[in-house]
Amino acid sequence: MTPPVFDFISDLMDQYINYLVVEKGLADATIESYGSDLKNFADFLKSSRIDPLAETDAAAVLKYLIDLRKAGLSARSRARHLVTLREFFKFLVQEKIIKKDPTRIIDLPKTGIKLPDVLSLDEILLILKAPDGATPRGARDGAMLELLYAAGLRVSELIHVKLQDVNMDMGFVRTLGKGSKERIVPIGSKAREKIEDYVKNARPRLLKNHVSSYLFVARAGNPMTRQGFWKLLKKYTIQAGIRKNITPHSFRHSFASHLLEGGADLRAVQMMLGHVDISTTQIYTHVARDHLKKLHEQYHPRG
């Protein structure tokens, strides 16, 4: 028979997941990840006969992280598990179920800084020029690539942009990011030109007799799939003669890094990317700092 304390802990975890769904509005994939991590922690507590609400639960969390390391999890994966527990215990403190967060004294496992894959401006331009704008599909693909780079969209956001989401006169796109959070991002003149040309000349030919609210359409007026866009990007990367392993997210990373290299404010880039926490955006400053260091070495008399 399961001791009552563990039933109570499971109930609290269920309450927390419900809080993430209802109050925080997080994406399904994020909810699933949190739920999986918490279930793993709950299983550990039961097998170890540990009460996490006791005064010694900091030690319990440490033992859990050690067990994860013994099981072969990388530092990055262990750090993710600890972040999940930090958020869970923060919730318990917020709800006045416990007085102190036991994870506050535990440091994240050192993972090192993994810099994003960033394309140079020349590489971006080569890819943007690859689609044949004289064909309906080429015009569509060119407009998609321009918008991806102009607004730093995630691929899931790009394929779900609707006609009404793009304001050509004002020059911005409205999108729903993670947790269904809306943001408005400028798109610039080049993307506007490509989108206007696509909507006027290519989109009706792709739709034929179908109707769709989506800006970028595939067969029968349906939006393009993530996998479909990945294949297109890979094709144009090869056509451009670039041998790097490019993903749609590479464009998002490049968007942020190029803005910072050009002197954009970090908070502004945070807003355009749709990051809730600025610490998520700060990883791009390492790329920008490398650029500034090279400029200093090149042009400073004592560089």
Catalytic residues: 154, 178, 249, 252, 275, 284
User: Length of the chain, please?
Assistant: 303
Phi, psi for residue 167 in degrees, rounded to 5: -100, 100
Q: Give the Cα separation of 303 and 300 in Å (integer).
A: 5
- Angle at Cα 281 formed by Cα 277 and Cα 283, nearest 5°? 125
The DSSP line for 196-264 is: HHIIIIIHHHHHTT---SBSSB-GGGPBPPHHHHHHHHHHHHHHTT--S---HHHHHHHHHHHHHHTT-
Question: How many other CB atoms are found less than 10 A from the CB of residue 94?
Answer: 11
